[in-house]
Each structure stands twice: as structure tokens, then as C-alpha cells.
Structure 1
Amino acid sequence: MSYHVLKIAKIAAIYAGTIMGAGFASGQELTQFFVVYGSMGLVGLLFTIILFAWLGITILKISYTIKATSYHQLLYYACGEKIGTVLDCIITLSLFGVLTVMLAGNGTLFRDTLHLPYGLGIGIMTLILLLTTLWGINGIATANLIITPLLAAITSFVAMYSLSYHDWNFTMLHISSATINISTSHWLLSSLLYLSYNLVMSATLLVPLGARTPEPSIRISGSIIGSLLLLLLAGLIILVVMIHYPLSPEYEIPMLHIAGSQHIVHHAAYIFTFAAAMYTTGLACLYGCTTKLTAVTGLSKTAALLIVITFSVLFSYIGFTSLVSIVFTLFGYVTLWFTLRLLYLSFFPK
């Protein structure tokens, strides 16, 4: 694999892999932010993906221009010192919250699907995240490069298999929000919130990669390919959840239930997919929290890592669905200003 292709693949894999977390792969997150709005939810998804591609390029470009080593440098550049400082503190807490969601998701997977202790699922994910994060940004990039294609392949197969034996008609786009935990009152706001918190999560890894990528063609290609991969997978998951409505929203992990109704092999494969998706997003959040804590306190990377993961484990016992609804929506509101500033800077650079 050539240097250019490898760099493009790393950027695309990190971008898509970070966003494909527990909420995404389970169908729970996409249900709350898109499915509930029916046909307009699909419009919202397309709108979100276009901005993902555009703003991903912007993040990579600015990161290279200012030689940023951490997401908070990009944050200060985009929002200014005063607002950036406030947002930085809140975003760090939000990243911590999403990390907690990933651990809770693996606990739920072990308890409800494998019939093993909730704490065992949390413990195994914690250990794997710790070992990979100690490897540094290159190790995280390599992990995403391996895991993300597997996630895409398994998710696509399960979704297309489901679509193949169901009749499709446009009445399925008329979704009632009565049985779904709706995040906001309008599809456009919901799309912007989804975009905002995912941009910040991906920025924790895109920023150091962008700083090392001088070639505009690589930055552009990586962002676009990663966004198109997200469009394909999110579109398939949303359509499958709509087909199985109104039963699908009743499950904490709708896609896992759907895979289980197909074949035992599909079910086993999707268990791996769900766990791997939590792993890739957990990496971004743990890395972001650790680098920030290290910068603020002067602690060693290992000490900061242990502190972050210990508190995250403690909070992970709140439960998966409750955390997805609360943490992701609040995270979206907090990071909305950062998204708008990035959009402005993409047209009017400093």
C-alpha cells in the first residue's frame, strides 16, 4: 500500500471509526436523532454527512496550518481564548461522558446478550482501551484501520440481509415519535447536534493527524471517503430500524436484536461489531481526556490515563440507553458553537 493510499485510509478509518460508536452501531443513536423524524430524518442524515465531509477537511487543514497537537488548540483557534476555555472544560467532561457510554454499552452487551456479568464487560473493554491508548496516536490509527473495515462489512451485510426479505414502501417513512425518546423538536436541530458532538470526538484524533498531513489531496480524500462510509452505514441502519418499527425502538440495542432474528452467525458477528464500535469511539474519548488532563496537571500520561478510566468505570453503571439520550444531546448543544465557528472559518479563514 502506497504512502498516499495509507494516509487517506487512516484518516477515513479514524473519522468513520470514531463516529461509529455504541450508539451508532446499535441503532439507538440513529433512532433518537434521525429515525424519529421519518422522511425528514433521511434529509437530516444527508445534510449531516455533507457537513461532516466539509468540516472534516476544515479541521485537517487548520490543524496543519497551526501545527496543533491537541483538539483544544483547534478549539481556542476557532472560538477564541475566553469562549474556548469554557468550552474546553465542558467538552472534556462531555468526552468523559461518551467514554462512560462506551463502557456501559459493553456492560449491557455482556449482561443482556452473553448473559455474563455487567462488570466483566466493562472490565474487558477498560483493559483493551488502556493498552491501545498507551500505544499512542499511531497505535490508535492502526487499530482503526483494522477495525473500521470489519465494522462496515458486517453492518452492511446484516442490514442488506434484512432489507432483502422485507417489503419496502414509503409508508414506513411515517414514524410516530410516541414510542421513541425524541432528542429535539426539529429534525434540523437534531442533525446539527449529532454533527456537533461527533465532530469534537473525531477532532481528538483528526487534529494530530492533520498536523502531520501537508498534502491537501490526502486531507480532502480522507474526509470525503470517511463521510461516504458513514452515509452508507447510517442509511442502511436507519432503513432497517424503520422497517422493524415500532418494535425496534423498544430494544436497547435494536440492530443486535435484528441480527439475532436472522441467524446465529449474524448475531455473533454483530456482537463483535457492537463491541468493536464502542472500542473505536472509546479510544478517541480516552485519548482526548488523557491529553487534556496531562496538559493541565502535568501528570504523566499513564497516571492521567488511569485517573480518567477509573472515574469512567464508576459512572458507567448508570445504564446505556439513559446515557445515550442524556450525554449525547447535551454534548451536541455544548459543541454547537464550535461547529458554527468551524463552518464560518471554512469560508472566511483567518
Structure 2
Amino acid sequence: MIVDGLKWMFLIIGTTIGAGYASGQEIWQFFGYESGLAIVIFTFLFVSSCHVVLTISYRHQTDDYAEVLQELMGPRLSKGYDLIIVFYLFTTTGVMIAGGGAALEYFQIPFNAGILFMCGLLLITAIKGIQGLTSINGILIPILIVSLAVVLLTFYMANVEEGYSIWTTQQRNWPSAFTFTSLNVLPLIAVLSAVGKKIKHQGEIWVASIGSGLVLGSVSFLYNESLLAAAEDIMLYEIPLFALLETYPSYTTAFMAILLWSAVFTTAASGLFGLTSRLQSAFSLPAWALAIFLLCMMLPMTQFGFSSLIGVLYPIYGILNLYLLIIILIHPFYFKKV
């Protein structure tokens, strides 16, 4: 039970920690100053959301998100949000691919070459399906989390001023917890709804939900505090993480660039998996054919640049998904009465 729960936990984290999160762009866009309380609230919201979605998926033994969405929102609204999820997954997977190209530029690999390399690996993963996706996450995510936590903690300890308090009296940015959580709700529904038939025990859901929430909440808090310490330098970098690595040896930066690319890849793979699993129920095509078509359609949008896509798309999606987040949070109370 615990082992399987950890497998789903790594899938959740791998879906959430992508180009925006691992690079620091998401953290900086939504949090920043006076955000300690916001991150605590986000942790509770995230745990609750994961538990609700996994529970519905397990109860209905689903293999795509259509049935989960219908229980949450009813037949009419679910059709509208179905289109939003497809568009969201499409655009954010394009963001991940752009982030992968940006990360490989550190190694003097041309942006477009990095994008094509990533698309090739994504196609291979799409062919292998959920088993390939969970296997990759089970290997890469623990390495990424530990390495990122060590770098952030080391940077924070070296740059924090004596007497500095991580919790200020003013916590006026707490509403950002809701938009940040809602931003991550759609990919969670798309991916977690596809594993309902694979879950064997209710305990797996608790392990996955609580574990992923605590890990993401802790890393988010540490990441935000580290970015605040380097706030003056962040604007000079496409990827804020590299501002924190400025004083580190080159091999450390290279290692983190590889891990950043890995995070981008796992989220892109999750997004592509969510799209193909949903579209397979509408079109009688194999996963590899759908994956090729989708990747070709995504290539043009990668030319807008990573940080530009993050800055424009993510806040919009965060606001649009607030309604869906509210529905998920009240669902356990409403469902018991029905």
C-alpha cells in the first residue's frame, strides 16, 4: 500500500513540478513577499484536492478525466471544462517543451534542437503509457526534490541576515494560495483520473495526497524565501533558479540544469499523457499517432519563449480554475448529502 501510494505521490509531484515550478518562475509569479501564510494554505488545499480527485477516480475506476469531471460539475458544465482542460494541457505542455529548450541552452545546445530532442523522448514515453510515466517519475522526482532542497537550503543559510525572520507580521498575499492551487488543479484531474483502475486500496490515496502536499509545501516555502534573498538579481535571468546558483561552482549549476530539464520533461510527459488518454476515447487512434499530431501542433507556440508563456498564461489559468477548485473542495460535503 505504501509503495503504491508513493508511486502516485511521485506522479503528482512530477505533474506539478515542471518548467514553471522547478525554475522558480511560478513561485515568483504567485508568491514573493508576505507569502508564508499563502504557502501554508496552499499545502492544505493541495492535499484536499488530490484526495478528492483520486477518491472519485478510484470509486469509478476511471481511465480518463471525463467521468470525474462529470461527477464534480454535472453534465453541462463538465463539457465546457472538458474543452478548457484540453486547451490547458495543450498550452502548458507547450510551455514545458519551451522550458526544456531553454534549460538545454546552458549546455550550448540550440533552443530548437533542444525542443526536438525533448519531443522525441516525449513520444517514446507516450508509447509506453502510464507504466513508463510512473517509472520515470519514481527515479527522477526523488533525486530532483533532494537536490533542489539541498541547493535552496544551502543558499538560504549562506545569504540570510542575522536576526532575519522568515515569518513577517504582514501576510497580505494569502489569496494567492487559491490561484496557485487552482492553476495546478486541471493537470491533476487530467492525470490522476487516468489511474483510477490502477489504485488497489484507499490507503494509497492518503499516502499520495498527504505526502505530495507536504513535500510541495515545504519546498515552496524554502524556494520562496531563497528567491526573496536574491530578489535584486532575478530580473536578470530567464530562469530564477540560475540566479541562486550564480555563486556555485559550474558543475553544480550544470547538475541542476540537468535536473531542471528532468522536471520539465516529467510534467510535459504527464500533460501529453493526459491529452492522449482523453482524446483516445473520442478518436480511434493509437497513442503514438495522437502524440505525434499533438507535438507537431505544439511546436509553433514554443517560439514565444519560456518566461513570456509563464507570465501570460499561468495567472489567467489560475483565475479561470478558481471555480473548479471550489467545487472540488466542497464536493465531499455535498456528495455525502446527495
**TM-score normalized by the length of structure 2:** 0.93
* Pair 1:56 & 2:44 matched: no
Offset from partner CA, 1:195-226 (integer Å, 9 cap, x none): 11212212222223244324222211111011
Aligned to 2:121: 128
Q: Give yes or no for contact 2:7–2:138 (8 Å, CA) kept in 1.
A: yes
Offset from partner CA, 1:221-260 (integer Å, 9 cap, x none): 1110111111121112111101111222432211123224
Q: CA deviation at 1:173?
A: 7.3
Offset from partner CA, 1:73-117 (integer Å, 9 cap, x none): 211210111111011101211111110111111122233x22221
Aligned to 1:329: 315
User: Which whole-Å CA distance do the structure 2 matches of 1:287 and 1:322 have between them?
Assistant: 25
Aligned to 1:30: 27
List structure 1 segments (4+ residues) > 4 angstroms apart after TM superposition: 169-174
User: Which whole-Å CA distance do the structure 2 matches of 1:115 and 1:291 have between them?
Assistant: 35
Residues 249-260 of structure 1 aligned to structure 2 (within 5 Å): 249-260=235-246
Residues 138-157 of structure 1 aligned to structure 2 (within 5 Å): 138-157=131-150
Aligned to 2:232: 246
* Pair 1:158 & 2:151 matched: yes
Letter in 2 for 1:66: H
Q: 2:99 aligns with which of 105, 121, 144?
A: 105
User: Which whole-Å CA distance do the structure 2 matches of 1:5 and 1:47 have between them?
Assistant: 26
Q: Give yes or no for contact 2:51–2:205 (8 Å, CA) kept in 1.
A: yes
Give RMSD over aligned pairs. 1.8
Q: CA deviation at 1:170?
A: 4.2
Aligned to 1:7: 4
Aligned to 1:226: 212
Q: 1:277 aligns with which of 260, 263, 273?
A: 263
User: Which whole-Å CA distance do the structure 2 matches of 1:79 and 1:249 have between them?
Assistant: 40
**TM-score normalized by the length of structure 1:** 0.90
Aligned to 2:179: 193
Letter in 1 for 2:39: L
Q: Give yes or no for contact 1:166–1:243 (8 Å, CA) kept in 2.
A: yes
| Residue identity (%) | 24
When residues 212 and 110 of structure 1 are mapped into structure 2, their CA distance, relative to the original with a 3 A threshold, is closer
* Unmatched 5+ stretches in structure 1: 175-185
Q: Give yes or no for contact 2:63–2:196 (8 Å, CA) kept in 1.
A: no
Q: Give yes or no for contact 1:55–1:346 (8 Å, CA) kept in 2.
A: no
User: Which whole-Å CA distance do the structure 1 matches of 2:117 and 2:160 have between them?
Assistant: 40
Aligned to 1:69: 63
* Pair 1:47 & 2:41 matched: yes
* Pair 1:216 & 2:213 matched: no
